[in-house]
A = this chain, B = another copy of it.
């Protein structure tokens, strides 16, 4: 899992670096741990934001939080902060499992699209590591999506309303891809 804070869109459609939200880190780390995800990357080029993430990791992994709540520690052990998506890919390659398949996510359907079933099948073969990129703020930029190998089909809930929080979208995606069978 990779949670992208840059490049993402603002409400007005500008390319921005969004602020890191503490609860995003906790929620997506815990969900990732529940579904057996290998790593959860937080991507931000802003040094003060990266420093904040490192402080949160330190607190829960080796500081007072680790004693207070060892269960949360287990989840936050998955977390890494990187300055760019390229650094994420380099880190995955260093792990030696091969060149990662990059999958962007979006609330709108894209080409080349990938259904949840297709991606689930890809994960089952385990031939190559897969990195799922989720945008914060108003979503990933067109340029980012264009560079990804695939874009995952949007989550729909049977209504015209499709404004899920990124934390909730991450949970639903992991359940569809890695839950039950």
Which among A54-62, A94-102, A139-147, A171-179 touches the partner chain? A171-179
Chain copies in the assembly? 2
Query: How many Å from the CB of A58 to the closest CB on chain B?
Result: 20
User: A171-B172, A172-B171, A175-B176 are contacts. A161–B27 as well, Cβ < 8 Å?
Assistant: no
Asked if A171 and B179 sit within 8 Å, CB to CB, the answer is no
CA distance A86 to B31 in the complex (A): 32
Asked if B179 and A172 sit within 8 Å, CB to CB, the answer is yes
**Does A110 touch B at the CB level, under 8 Å?**
no
User: A23-B23, A175-B176, A176-B175 are contacts. A33–B168 as well, Cβ < 8 Å?
Assistant: no
Asked if A159 and B26 sit within 8 Å, CB to CB, the answer is no
**Could you say which residues of chain B place their CB within 8 Å of the CB of A165?**
23, 26-27, 30-31, 167
CA distance A35 to B155 in the complex (A): 10
Chain B's closest residue to A11 (CB) is: B69
Query: How many Å from the CB of A176 to the closest CB on chain B?
Result: 7
**Could you say which residues of chain B place their CB within 8 Å of the CB of A27?**
165, 167-168
**Could you say which residues of chain B place their CB within 8 Å of the CB of A158?**
35-36, 178-179
Contact with B along A53-78 (1 / 0, CB 8 A): 00000000000000000011011000
Chain B's closest residue to A171 (CB) is: B168
Q: Residues of A with Cβ closer than 8 Å to B?
A: 23, 26-27, 30-31, 33-36, 71-72, 74-75, 155-159, 161-165, 167-172, 174-176, 178-179
Besides the contacts A31-B165, A34-B155, A35-B158, what 15 more A-B pairs have beta carbons closer than 8 Å? A27-B167, A30-B164, A30-B165, A36-B159, A71-B163, A74-B161, A157-B175, A158-B178, A165-B167, A167-B168, A168-B170, A171-B172, A172-B175, A172-B179, A175-B175
